[in-house]
Structure 1
């Protein structure tokens, strides 16, 4: 099943994109007879760079920090990022059989939580069955546990998709060390051009990744495309603090402490300076909500965590 989702035809979507490119070209010709620019300007933190340059710079950042990524997350957030990710899973509330695509999830934090969550649901179901059948023999109880062990995820599968090879390498090693193998795939892919069929997944997640995408609107359109009708989009991302006192402290910590931690722990000041700056350039909660709606999602909402230090955005493909 995973293979059929990962490899497949994208003719319809590619045809639509080609049509859109033709329309943009015609508009450019009509407006001045010149071809539209193929590489516009964007931001890399507080710098203004070309779009292609940003893609290369972001790739380099995560290649540099991959091996220390988890350690730095714990150090920068004092471990609170774990609670934020747990909150994301509780909002997701996946059922056995769910197909999840986790984009920019190279080190596997969301994927492992998804597997644990689905397993715990299955275990609760077994316990409920046993309580409702008090007269089962020891052999019947053993058989029930044995059967459930072989299908502990109930058909659920998570595909981790990341553009960075080093991040995926770290995630794969981590999964082997922690014993995650069933119901898990790793795919090298770009959030702006996902290598999956239309209508393939029940849930799409991206945690602390979308602000690093060059064309956020395009990544959102891709999220919509690969989700099944009724599928859910969930994004956990740093956002805009809504408390002035906390905002002042947060800015002080971000600009004066985090780059220093990056230098001491990961030997990389510049990458963590960029990560801090990229948070400030990301749209506000309301602005990002509108972008998600523009991509076609309905019932779009967000929940602030930590006074808006991070927010969980949710939308449905209906």
Structure 2
């Protein structure tokens, strides 16, 4: 099997055609405890990261937003407040369990009128060209098999003047932070996963997938290669997380 036919699943090499299925298995397993685990893993800071990402999107009333890999709907709820009744948010995820949980959660919050749902693959978005003012993918790009294809697909569905927001775990800018983060990720995180989500392996994969994700400057170049302009990134929590932003001109 050639290198073009394989990709990484955490630290393992797997057939490219198998990765989506393997990732789906991870999120099927953790969906029920996903929100609780997010709070535990980040000490609740993920809520601040998401709010900053939404602020950087500059989404306004009446706009059309695509929330890719939207999971349980945290970003969709924040975007819904910004677009108002005149706008629309489309929450999509490749995983049916995550999408179902997100839909139920948003309906329970009374958010329904201007939110749509779709189960789709980020690499092949089934939307027309120039459809959205903003495309956001939060903590999802690292799980995509072909990131370049996904970025091109996001660029295609954006309107001219639209922007992409990529919120993702990244690479610490400080050596001490990096060492502490590694200790936490590979020692404590899987144990929390075992106790709370009853799934140690999935959280070990999530830690590994973060390390395999492109570094900040590399992802910035990938976005530019996909057609985005004025690409930039904003490190948060000493680079543990970064928000990347680019525009379709």
Q: CA deviation at 1:39?
A: 7.0
Q: TM-score, with normalisation over the residues of structure 2?
A: 0.97
**Distance in 2 separating the partners of 1:311 and 1:244:** 17
Question: Would you tell me which structure has more strand in proportion to its own residues?
Answer: 2
Q: Which residue of 1 aligns with 2:76?
A: 111
SS of the equivalent of 2:13 reads strand
The answer to whether the 8 A contact 1:161-1:186 is kept is yes
1:259 to 181, 190, 195: 190
Q: How does 1:59-78 map to 2 (within 5 A)?
A: 59-78=24-43
User: What's the counterpart of residue 246 of structure 2?
Assistant: 315
Q: Which has the larger radius of gyration?
A: 1
Aligned position for 1:187: 118
**How far has the Cα of 1:51 moved from its partner?**
0.6
Measure how far apart 1:38 and its partner are: 11
Aligned mate of 2:217, from 275, 286, 300: 286
RMSD over aligned CA atoms reads 1.4
- Displacement of 1:161 in angstroms is 1.0
Question: Which secondary structure state, in structure 2, belongs to the residue aligned with residue 257 of structure 1?
Answer: helix
Which residue number in structure 1 is paired with residue 48 of structure 2? Answer: 83
Superposed structure 1 runs of 4+ greater than 2 Å apart: 36-39
Residue of 76, 80, 98 corresponding to 2:63? 98
Which has the larger share of helix?
Answer: 1
Within 2, Cα distance between the matches of 1:295 and 1:234?
A: 14
Alignment of 1:45-60 (within 5 A): 45-60=10-25
Q: Say whether the 8 Å CA contact 2:85–2:114 is kept in structure 1.
A: no
| Corresponding pairs, count | 249
CA contact (8 A) 2:171 2:240 kept: yes
Q: Which runs of 5+ in 1 are unaligned?
A: 1-35, 119-152
**Structure-1 separation of matches of 2:4 and 2:244:** 29
Query: Partner residue of 2:104?
Result: 173
1:153-172 paired onto structure 2 within 5 Å: 153-172=84-103
Query: SS of 1:276's equivalent?
Result: helix
> Structure 1, residues 109-138: CA drift from partner, whole Å, max 9, x if none?
1000111234xxxxxxxxxxxxxxxxxxxx
Contact 1:89 1:117 in 2 (8 A): no
Determine helix, strand or coil for the equivalent of 1:106.
coil
